[in-house]
Homo-oligomer: A and B are copies of this chain.
């Protein structure tokens, strides 16, 4: 139980704790031989610094806190991975909290993290209320917002993508592929990701001279179940959209399942575009068109901003790092070529049924 401490080493060597401390940290002058003796003694006596004591003394715990709504979401786990890498490189440790999409847990996590004296905070807040940001302005530690950027965060540090532009881009992409009847499953308008992707979508359609149809634009809560439910609702409409832009991956998965359950084909009957629907397995079908946020980099940059501020970068807060997402096109193209093939095989007549043929070799 009783770990060996500086004092023990000091006694053994007939030195003072300060000398031993200096020998280990490298700060302050220490005689060559003394340093070696200390290093030697430390090696023999499995000494481990007590970082808690050091933190108290230095008033710096060298911990960075991160709060995400769902650590199980591959977007966030990648963010965490990136943040971790940056932390390791700079000698920080990451304290991870999962808010489970609950404001209450989020606040609780924050409180704990602050009590533990984290040096900085990375926050993917689920908070809808702009007032919710106020406390952070008053915090004496650097706070970086990612993903959902609450209103009122103007002068705070932010790492994100341009969600408005991204939504606009993928919407235009769908139009360019020939889809003019485009609907959307949006996220909560109270979250910036939800709102900006929604306005981006609208803007793109208008820019293309298409007026969005209200009944085709529904808002969910970013969870799979809501995507499924809303899509079902859409499918009951007398007129269906031919393509959907869906505000995040989980809702897209839900929607796709609903479409399939209805016996419809993607993208044959309805094409799907989404966000962060990356498929690391290469096995998800259909490959849907997707705007992908550079998740690891978001985490990495967020942590680096914190480290920079901590090491004296006192540019005023309000650094906005806007990263470029990538667009993965999905396999509409692939789909078309299969259909074309089948149609050709059936003698040029549009086939009433689509056949996917597996030939045993």
Contacts and interface: CB of A to CB of B under 8 A. Distances in A.
A242 interface: no
A115 B95 CA distance: 15
A268 interface: yes
Contacts of A328: none
Contacts of A3: 140
Contacts of A264: 360-361
A256 to B, nearest CB: 6
A284 interface: yes
Contacts of A74: 72, 74, 77
Place the interface of chain A in its size category. 35 or more
Interface string A166-190: 0000000000000000000000000
Q: Helix, strand, loop or mixed for chain A's interface?
A: mixed
B52 A116 contact: yes
A78 interface: yes
Contact of A283 (B52, B116, B140, B253): B253
A114 interface: yes
Interface stretch (A9-17, A153-161, A201-209, A351-359): A351-359
A237 B117 CA distance: 60
Interface of A: 1, 3, 48-53, 55-56, 61, 63, 71-72, 74, 77-78, 80-81, 84-85, 88, 93-98, 105, 108, 111-117, 140, 224, 253, 256-257, 262-265, 268-269, 280-286, 352-361
